Chain A
Amino acid sequence: MDEAPGLSDQYRTASPWPVFIALGIPISELGLLFGLFPLAVGGLLLFGGSVVGILKESGYVTSTIRAVTALAVIFLAFGAGLAFTDIALVTRGYAVIAAAILLAVGGIVFELFVREQRQTF
């Protein structure tokens, strides 16, 4: 806000990701709390995908694949913890694991096929 007051307008003032991160959290929470498998998976995908998107956009990560994998591993650990330990929330655990796998697959497919195709133009 130094000399030109309109300065902040020259920074990037739009990002599509925050809304979806904010939607992903409650949807996955609802799914996990009430044991609604599709909501849990979908919410986590939305959340995970948007987190990767926002990290990529703001330059905190350079490789989509690595970010997606890291997130998928975290989800996987969490899901395994729910499903295979004494906690024994099996369905919910599998929901998180499913989200982890879908996220990883989705990230890789996007990176290998979609992204590349777009860039060849």
Chain B
Amino acid sequence: MEVNGQLALTVLMGVFLIAVAAWLARVEDWRSYTPLAGGGTVGGTAEQYVSEEKPSGVIRWLTTVDHKDIGMLYGAYALVAFAVGGLMVVLMRIELADPSMTLISNTFYNSLLTSHGITMLFLFGTPIIAAFSNYFIPLLIGADDMAFPRINAIAFWLLPPAALLIWAGFFPIPDVIPAQTAWTMYTPLSAGVGSGNQMNAGVDLMLLGLHLSGVSATMGAINFIATIFTERNEKVSWANLDIFSWTILTQSGLILFAFPLLGSAIVMLLLDRNFGTMFFSVDGGAILWQHLFWFFGHPEVYILVLPPMGIVSLVLPRFAGRRLFGFKFVVYSTLAIGVLSFGVWAHHMFATGIDPRLRASFMAVSLAIAIPSAVKTFNWITTMWNGKIRLTTPMLFCIGFVSNFIIGGVTGVFLASIPVDLVLHDTYYVVGHFHYIVMGAIAFAGFAGLYYWFPIYTGRMYQVTLGKWHFWLSMVGTNLTFFAMILLGYGGMPRRYATYLPQFATLHQVATVGALILLVGQIIFVWNFVQSWLEGREVQDGDPWDLADDDLVTAEWTWFERKLETAVTDGGEDETELATDGGQTVDDADAESADDA
């Protein structure tokens, strides 16, 4: 690099560090010793705000280590990523509305495809789960906070830089283009070999970002394991630990084994790309990458689905008026899935020509993992059977989850069978299969949680009619889009192409229409979410879902009830202020639908 550039960088970096130091000097507690701070007596203001109350404004959010705040940050982050990933795929689906469409170039399509996958899995999926777990696990198990609150904050703050790096190729930076490796980053393409353009720094940046998000997930996992093991209230034993905590515990275990492996594989790939190592370019290197990637990749899909299953197992019984059927077996099946999920990875590699005996054993375990998944499904259905069903928005999303999970799971079982997979591998069938799960199930459970706990984290109620619109548009859109993809796969349509033969046009158009319906649904969601948060009807009752009627109250609602009470006695803080504006106006409009029954 020429001297000028280095000099400029040095100056920039220096100025940045000085700014950081100056800012820290104002915020950190040694401020209380400084005569400059003008903060009054020693141990006065600074001491107070660090130990007793939160600082205000932006600083509060930048410096918070409170698990509830961090949960909110995760949630906001995940929803932004969901919007970005969603808009990317809308562009792709529009491109696919017609085989001759040239709205975007083929290379740009590939870039969007890559970023969509990585964004949805690592920047939306994992963080939205972390949003719920951070906010609610300490409440559910009666802990004061996470075991390591500061590590918790570090884990979150690694994510914004990760997103910037992953998306860096799309920013107008000279000579940097987005990665086009797909989310699986198969070598030799991702190693930059050949005449393509994947030697570009954009791929390195994406890999760094992915690595960072893995570090974040690992830190979070360690924290949850420590919290659930050591911070439980005396009254919370292993025997009565709630189902959501169980799934988070299992998920954290999976993360602990899977993500460091991904991190190492990424580092190896970066070394291959930049420092001349040959991990993946020697004989067998390409298959080595696939083994390493999928040894992480399959557990990753369960990392993403287990906690949503936990949310559904927690929420669905509340609106069925009964306890979760076969609670113990739901826990056992969670643990069984956790263990088995490390023994199935090569079902993603059936078509690579690996040893047929190996293939057969992976087929056997893959079929076996369907059993605990089915146990859960039957338990959800039996919980609802003869129950007192209340079709609230969160309940609708739970039922949608079960329905979509069945289709996603059954198509998965077919893929696990080698002869079937050899026909369907790398077709849209696979895309349909996993989207039934990632969109139809995981995102649905996320929405169920967002609606169910809306009163707790906003103090208000969402607008019921809009919630139902959101559900139905999502349900119809998901099934239209992804069922069309399953059919496309049967027809032999290969995945990851920006165009197709004319015979696939109709089904592709159906899929595009489905995606647009989904888009409309999510716009309604955003509107409902933001508007209700700002001016929804205030919740006065600590049990807005009337869970007490069926004796189904859980710890987080008890906490909420007490919070409402204490807020009233000491006059509340900022809550009362908010009450005066939006509070009344929407009140009557939504009063009778408030019960959402």
A residues apposed to B, CB below 8 Å: 1-2, 4-23, 25-26, 29-30, 33-39, 41-42, 45-46, 53-54, 57-58, 89, 115, 118-119, 121
Contact = CB atoms under 8 A, between A and B. Distances in A.
A26 B208 contact: yes
A95 to B, nearest CB: 11
Contacts of B208: 26, 29-30, 33
Given A39-B9, A45-B17, A6 B563 contact: yes
Closest 6 CB pairs of A and B: A22-B157, A18-B153, A42-B13, A38-B10, A118-B33, A14-B63
A11 B144 CA distance: 9
Given A6-B563, A14-B55, A15-B153, A25 B64 contact: no
Interface in B2-38: 6, 9-10, 12-14, 16-17, 20, 23-24, 27-30, 33-35
Nearest to A115: B30
26 contacts: A1-B138, A1-B233, A4-B562, A9-B66, A12-B50, A12-B65, A13-B53, A13-B54, A13-B64, A14-B55, A14-B63, A16-B28, A16-B62, A18-B156, A19-B157, A22-B158, A33-B208, A36-B6, A36-B9, A37-B9, A38-B6, A42-B14, A46-B17, A53-B24, A118-B30, A119-B33
Contact of A14 (B33, B60, B212, B275): B60
B34 A36 contact: no
B67 to A, nearest CB: 7
Interface centre among B33, B60, B165 (most CB of A within 10 A): B33
Contacts of B60: 14
B559 interface: yes
A29 to B, nearest CB: 6
B352 interface: no
A6 B566 contact: yes
Interface of B: 1, 6, 9-10, 12-14, 16-17, 20, 23-24, 27-30, 33-35, 49-55, 59-60, 62-69, 138-139, 142-145, 149-150, 153-154, 156-158, 160-162, 165, 201, 204, 208-209, 211-212, 215, 233, 270, 274-275, 559, 562-563, 566
B50 A14 contact: yes
Contacts of A54: 150
Given A6-B563, A14-B49, A33 B270 contact: yes
Contacts of B1: 35-36
Interface of B is mostly: helix
A112 B62 CA distance: 30
Contact of A25 (B10, B27, B49, B212): B212
A34 to B, nearest CB: 7
B54 A9 contact: yes
B50 A19 contact: no
A11 B145 contact: yes
Contacts of B233: 1-2
Nearest to B159: A22
Contact of B144 (A1, A15, A19): A1
A8 B157 contact: no
B150 A42 contact: no
Given A4-B566, A5-B566, A25-B215, 7 more contacts: A16-B23, A16-B62, A18-B63, A26-B158, A29-B208, A33-B208, A37-B9
B65 A5 contact: no
Interface centre among A16, A23, A41, A89 (most CB of B within 10 A): A16
A44 B446 CA distance: 37
Contacts of B562: 4-5
A1 B559 contact: yes
A9 to B, nearest CB: 7
B52 A10 contact: yes
A1 B142 contact: yes
Given A21-B154, A33-B208, A39-B9, A15 B53 contact: no
B212 A26 contact: yes
Nearest to A35: B1
Given A25-B215, A42-B17, A5 B63 contact: no
B34 A14 contact: no
B66 A8 contact: yes
Nearest to B9: A38
Given A1-B142, A25-B158, A36-B9, A13 B204 contact: no
B387 to A, nearest CB: 30
A15 B24 CA distance: 10
A67 to B, nearest CB: 15
A8 B12 CA distance: 39
Contacts of A22: 154, 156-158, 160-161
A36 B33 CA distance: 38
Nearest to B27: A16
A45 B233 CA distance: 40
Nearest to B21: A49
A18 B62 CA distance: 9
A78 to B, nearest CB: 14
Given A1-B143, A12-B65, A21-B154, A26 B51 contact: no
Interface centre among A17, A22, A30, A37 (most CB of B within 10 A): A22
B9 A46 contact: no
A1 B33 CA distance: 33
